[in-house]
Amino acid sequence: MTGPHQDHPLVTAGAPFDVAEAALVLVHGRGATAQSIVQMADEFHQDGVAYLAPQAARNTWYPNAFTAPVESNEPGRMSGLQAIDDAVSTANEAGIPTDRVMVLGFSQGACLASEFVARNPMRYGGLAVLSGALIGDIVDQDDYDGDLEGMSVFLGCSDVDPHIPENRVHESAAIFEQLNGDVTKRLYEGMGHGINQDEIDQVSTMVAGLVE
């Protein structure tokens, strides 16, 4: 498909494609940039891992809250999902198998990353959802079907995040468990909207597992 995010180049860093053993697709939050989330990846750097970060048009994947009706966030939502799919395909075309391609997002990007994996379930290298959850005014387990084949899924969020309702994190974790994901869910008391050291440690372990 073509959409508002398809005209933006993919930012890459880390291991060059010709030597990379694995890849990490990074999806930035609202108002941020692909370059900024690639820089964040230095926190969990591993040799042999290529970083790929799509860039949202005007730094925003979709206009409204992720809990708004899905239709109100089109075409941005669908174009964002395509941008993630394009990044995964770029890694595949470089010879990196899907089960060594991990997807990570923060905030609005975490919502989009979780939606991409839940709507396109297969064994990726893992999924890290940092301050995000599945998209829509409601999420219904009957709308999700497929098999993640025991893939690691990490959801980390504050219990009082001003943008992410705690209950939606629980609902999202349940859907990933239904999809046969190996789910770890962490709700951090009073943290606010951000990333803490425990989340960095969790993601670092997941990224290291891509090249073990």
b/e burial code for range 37-49 (CB count within 10 A of at least 16 → b): bbebbeebebeeb
Helices 166-178 and 108-119, axial angle in degrees (round to 10): 20
User: Helix-strand-coil percent breakdown of the chain, rounded to 5?
Assistant: 40, 20, 45
pLDDT digits (tens, 9 = 90+) for 129-139: 999 999 999 99
- Predicted confidence (pLDDT) at residue 83 exceeds the cutoff of 80: yes
Residue 118's pLDDT band, with cuts at 50, 70 and 90, is very high
11-14 vs 49-53, strand pairing mode: antiparallel
Specify the pLDDT at position 2.
82
Specify the pLDDT at position 192.
84
Q: Which residues pair with 11 in a beta bridge?
A: 53
Q: Write down the pTM of the prediction.
A: 0.96
Q: Cite the DSSP H helix spans in the chain.
A: 34-40, 76-93, 108-119, 166-178, 197-210
Average pLDDT over residues 192-204: 94
On the 0-12 / 13-18 / 19+ scale of CB atoms within 10 A, 155 is buried
- Predicted confidence (pLDDT) at residue 7 exceeds the cutoff of 90: no
Average pLDDT over residues 160-185: 97
Question: Percentage of the chain with pLDDT > 70?
Answer: 100
Amino acid, res. 7: D
Average pLDDT over residues 126-149: 96
In sign, the C-alpha dihedral spanning 50, 179, 199, 111 is positive
